[in-house]
Amino acid sequence: MTSQINTIMKYFGRRIRELRESQGLLLRQVAAAIEIDTALISKIERGERNASKLQVEKIANYLNADREELISLWLADKIESTIVEEPAAAYHAINIVKKNLEK
């Protein structure tokens, strides 16, 4: 199951890598700016570790990125990693939450 989760949890990591590389920044520069070690930011980019919400916000600020976009991608990773084990029930659960959010 771990390998399946690792292949799924990449929306956020892929986007921050794109942003970082487009700005010509090194992993160590981003890591220093958000006060984590380089290995951790590397794992976040590869989808091997989850960032905290505070880290997401710091990354958004440092990369001058759209905070809402990064939070949405971060949440998508969290949701998908949670529901991957129950795909049949997941769709129904998402619809329940969607209805509640629309209220």
For residue 88, what is the domain's CATH number? 1.10.260.40
Contact (Cβ atoms closer than 8 angstroms) between residue 70 and residue 15: yes
- Tokens linked to 95: 């619809």
pLDDT band at 2 (very low <50, low <70, confident <90, very high): very low
Residue 8, pLDDT > 70, answer no
Residue pLDDT, tens place only, 73-95: 999 998 888 888 888 888 888 88
The structural domain count of the chain equals 1
The amino acid occupying position 83 is: I
pLDDT confidence of 61, banded at 50, 70, 90?
very high
Q: If you average pLDDT over every residue of the chain, what do you get?
A: 89
d(CA 5, CA 29): 28
User: What CA–CA distances, in Å, run from 23 to 27, 38, 50, 65?
Assistant: 11, 17, 23, 11
Predicted TM-score (pTM) above 0.75 = yes
Q: How confident is the model at residue 28 (pLDDT cuts 50, 70, 90)?
A: very high
Which range marks the domain in which residue 23 is found? 2-102
